[in-house]
Chains A and B, each alone.
Chain A
Amino acid sequence: MTSLLEFLQPTLGEPHVVIVLGKGGVGKTSTSILIADELSSSSDTLLVSFDPAKHILEYLDVEEPMRVVRVKDRLYVYQLDIDMAAREVTSRYVNLLNDLLPSLQVLNVDDVVKAFKYMPGVEEEVFLRKLLELYKRREFKYVVIDTPPTGIALRTLILPRLYNMWLEKLIEIRERIVALRYVIARTLGRKYEVDDPALKKLYEMRDEYRFLEASLRDYGRTSYVIVANPEPLPIHEMREVVSFLEGELRVKPKLVVLNKVFPDDVAVRLGVYEQQRRYVDGVRQLPYTSIVISYVSSPPSKLRDIARLRESLYVLRRQP
């Protein structure tokens, strides 16, 4: 049985990030654990879950979110709690906000944080920041990410481009402002502050998000794994994700995992043989490496169960 690591090649950056996408309920979490477990047999691996369902805590007997916990030899786990993360981000600015917008003082900290948390787009932005952080965690060789539901995940992945677009625009205006300020001050013989903290901040952010955007598109730094079941909705969503990756990020998924595939006899008995056959063939025909994981009667609930999954795994297609 070949190693999953082989399918994820080339792995050039440190850390190399594996992003596991897929519709909810298809077995994304178990697949992520599977991959992380195998990768950790040779190197330090961090498994991160952005999934709000937080199954990882159950699976791996981890008590708290928002902490890196060592689970095995070289396997570490971190569960993000979006509420706590959003609170952490926004509470930093609450005092500043209260100073600048006195009308907000009527609300207390909780209200302000809540107001921000529910604003459209803020959740994706929090994920974005965490994602950026993860690319810098050099102490790990691999980082495996169990993503939130597909919609949010894809919006998060496209966010760096949106950020960069805005940053370019803001930088353009700000540079002109700074230039004018300089000319006016110099002409009037006034002293002039050479540094503009806002512009410096904008440049910093541009560097960061350009780095992230480039990394997300870099075959060697990021691997995309899509998990699906041989059923209409998961397959449809998988195709959407593929088209997103190819169209917007211009990358190919390195691995397609077809999970919960019934053995033929079971399929016949359930009357889904034809359908399943069709979907499996469809996936085989995609120009990506794909593997099949069989359906197991008792769903895995602990780390040791994951080993059984590995046994029922076979390669569907090998794409060079």
Chain B
Amino acid sequence: MVFKSLYLILREFFNFIRGIDQALIEESVSALQLEYVELEVAFLTLVLGPLVGVKTVPTLLTLELLEPLRDEVRILASRAPRGRDVLADLMSSLGGT
């Protein structure tokens, strides 16, 4: 009985350490991740502009790129409603006080 709970505690502890380790590795690219997403949004906005009335690239260029970008458009769709509410995201990704 005691053994079992000791084992459980130790296992959780190791999971904890592993988790922290993973967090550290992820930490190493968090700012890059931020830049990546912003660039992606910028690119998609440029390409999809004509479809929403913003004359950016020539219209048929947009249409030709639609198919390969199909999956990525949902990134834009998911972020759009949150629009300007990025202060919180910035604060968590850039490391804190």
Contact = CB atoms under 8 A, between A and B. Distances in A.
Indicate whether A and B are direct neighbours in the complex (CB within 8 Å): yes
Interface of A: 89-90, 92-93, 96-97, 99-101, 116, 119, 121-122, 125-126, 129, 159, 162-163, 166-167, 169-170, 173-174, 176-177, 180-181, 183-184, 187-189, 196-198, 200-202, 205
A200 B67 CA distance: 12
B59 A125 contact: yes
B48 to A, nearest CB: 8
Main secondary structure of the interface of B (DSSP, over half): helix
Contacts of B70: 96, 99-100
A201 B26 contact: no
A245 to B, nearest CB: 22
Contacts of B28: 187
A201 B64 contact: yes
Contacts of B43: 170, 173-174, 177
Contact of A188 (B26, B39, B63): B26
Taking chain A's interface residues, is the majority helix, strand, or loop, or is none over half, making it mixed? helix
B39 A173 contact: yes
Listed residue (B29, B46, B58) with the most chain A CB atoms within 10 angstroms of its CB: B58
Nearest to B77: A100
B25 interface: yes
A101 B51 CA distance: 9
B68 A188 contact: no
A201 B68 contact: yes
Given A96-B66, A101-B51, A184-B32, A176 B58 contact: no
A188 B25 CA distance: 7
B58 A166 contact: yes
A177 B36 contact: yes
